[in-house]
Structure 1
């Protein structure tokens, strides 16, 4: 994966940042000249767009790449027959997807400084952003292990991942959601990470509880991917 990305890095970057940067520019141009409340919403929105870029780049490409090669090209069978441990195989794919997502999200975050001043830059922001990328790269591998084809991946993405990017505080506060959605959103892997990233970006403050929740979701999804990969190998 590293060799492929090294040779085609410009395709991945252009394709990954295109939609997020367009969203960022459109919202910034339309909200920047408004009153204080509108400018405040722009500050609220930018971390959400960065999270969406991280999720899309870490999850979408990897789950499609892995599923296609497992179900159509049968490349996974060759991997499983080779003397490579489950942990090495999983870690390589998760890191590959997460690093790509992190680079794209980082470019979007740095680009947002062109439209809004006052965003913080500290190591905890990068750490929280990388945890988000690792979490959804792990989810991508887990989904790829059980998906029967690209249509299964599309169904899961449309039913679970895509709504998650709207119900986890990316565009609007979770408190504005109806009662059952407001409670349920805190049981999703993206909510705590999004709120902590926003707190770090706007205020420079790390919420330890939100940070631990994001780490717990990373552990759960990485462990799930490992178990599913091992079961696939035993088959």
Structure 2
């Protein structure tokens, strides 16, 4: 039983997050990269290009939502945990406090999910203004929540294993950035060279992009859902064990 041990961890992150929300620069930074992609690819190609039965802009928005939720859920947790562990030394206080490792994990992951959902919400607001066929289904919401949970859990893993703050940027460049471009965000996976497709289908964001664009769950979507659940469970367990075994 985790109880409510997680709440102080979560509340601390939310208080810090609230302070960032009061800064106009944070709002712009959260939206900057997705908006650049939207302007470059979405409005550039606009409604003149059809993709999977809809205009390209309506196709692109769900991918940007998945990508934005990945980036923000992962990056905020990974950077904050790494800084707290190596530089501010506040993570050591959490470990020494009478709080279960699993509760620390839950608090960090939930905080990362909130930040990912916030950034995704900003993209959705722009999407409803610009896209013609954008709709929010229960499957869309479930996929978004699962995607945030999965990558926030991965952020904990990175924050725990990185030996320096520069290492977190290295992990981002090797894993997160390639997923953003080759995981089906901007174009379907079947347009990727056949030699690379097995690698791309291993990436969790690929399955998030498949699932988030479906109106109802078909066989392909069910496979992607199972894969995402397996990733989420595995990342959560690994992150919890890294916190439990922490000894610095």
Correspondence 1:16 to 2:30: yes
The counterpart of 1:205, out of the listed 179, 195, 216, is: 216
Q: Distance in 1 between matches of 2:166 and 2:81?
A: 14
Q: Taking structure 1 as the reference length, what is the TM-score of the superposition?
A: 0.90
Deviations 1:182-230 (A, max 9, x none): 012111221111111022xxxx222222222211111111111111111
Residue 45 of structure 2: aligned partner:
31
Segments of structure 1 that go 5 or more residues without pairing to the other structure are none
Residue 149 of structure 1: aligned partner:
164
The counterpart of 2:67, out of the listed 37, 44, 52, is: 52
Q: Is the 8 A contact 1:59 1:139 kept in 2?
A: yes
Where do 1:44-193 residues align within 5 Å?
Answer: 44-193=59-208
Q: Distance in 2 between matches of 1:36 and 1:183?
A: 26
Q: Distance in 2 between matches of 1:223 and 1:25?
A: 39
Deviations 1:97-155 (A, max 9, x none): 11110121122123212111121222221111011111111001001111101111111
Correspondence 1:220 to 2:234: yes
Q: Distance in 2 between matches of 1:189 and 1:195?
A: 10
- CA pair 22-167 structure 1, distance change in 2 beyond 3 A: closer
Q: Distance in 2 between matches of 1:214 and 1:36?
A: 28
Cα displacement (A) at 1:85 = 0.6
Q: Name the SS for the 2:195 alignment partner.
A: helix
Segments of structure 2 that go 5 or more residues without pairing to the other structure are 1-12
Q: Is the 8 A contact 2:76 2:115 kept in 1?
A: no
Q: Taking structure 2 as the reference length, what is the TM-score of the superposition?
A: 0.85
Q: Is the 8 A contact 1:176 1:182 kept in 2?
A: no
- CA pair 10-21 structure 1, distance change in 2 beyond 3 A: farther
Q: Is the 8 A contact 1:193 1:213 kept in 2?
A: no
